Structure 1
């Protein structure tokens, strides 16, 4: 793979897609390896998830340096604070996802909290930083008139499609996973647009982790898992406003 830096925006779109596909596959492979290694020493599913996501996060952090994106990252841009109210819409999903709290013990809750922070960091850094920045370079080099909008849509579709790997663990849940891919794409468009407008990734990591955490708190071991598309249709509908938010924020190409 060819290294990209903020001073090199001439990388072709085909080269960008090749890089992204290669890096996504590498991230999946690292997750599988991390999961396998941790499962050799622990049967705790959350601990195994932590190992899997930590391995992927370390790879993504290395990727930020490899692709030369560190200098372009907006972690928490106070100069854009007037744009921060856009975070209220994705933050609303923390409340919408809260469905009570089942009797998890303290150790499990703390493990789950750690896992949600690690997994949210991994996904946001990969999909809202590496993918988005590389695609902006690629569409700009192509001469596209709306490089940021095209990069947001493409990175979000990739984010949604990445959930197809869940089929490896749940081959019987194809319908539900298709639903996951759709609503994850909606979430990706809304989140990516918020990042573009605010130049701040940390609030999105916090919101993403919080959504996952309250979802965990509401999980019940006696409830059957989602298996069909109909099982996820409600979530698809609920996440649709994030698609509208993203398209509205990007109705004009940001400078």
Structure 2
């Protein structure tokens, strides 16, 4: 447990002095915990995890490594009726604009009818459950051929996934990042995202039925999750970035 804790501290680029001050424990005690000379209580593991902003799944892993039972349940979404009701309200209320619910691995959990514009023309194997929305987006047999600003959008998605890997240390997400980074792209990919004229967010410029739609996205998460599954859900909503796109999405 101590070695895992040290890895998380170093990943967050915090010194033992910083962490001990924030978690209100002595530097000596923290050092003993990291070297295995002292066995922390479960309460101390959770307190340190909070100050290191460790995801709930990994907090459970630290507790198990320390010889304690997990503190956070990992329920099935099918059994969370109130959560599913909220999700459906958000998805249906966002129509006709596209919206999806994804898990930590970017697998599709739910979606509204607006998502149909992104599925048209995609290879069947990319639409077989579980659908990974990042793979669908950047795969040459998925949405990629219809994304007018593929280089820009790809850089945005890969950068976001890279930051998620850094935050979670999830090997599955790291493998996904390496897979997606290997997909072909015939457009330049900016190293730094800079706005174009009049832009306030990176738009998705998507060709659909002879039109180019301009969409901006917004991510929503549950604010105070105490369940691993709930903590790892995100709602990705797309909004029209101009009047022409709004009108096109309103048409049946």
Higher helix share: 1
- Bigger-Rg structure (1/2): 2
Relative contact order, higher structure (CA 8 A, sep 6+): 1
TM-score of the superposed pair, with normalisation by structure 2: 0.23
TM-score of the superposed pair, with normalisation by structure 1: 0.23
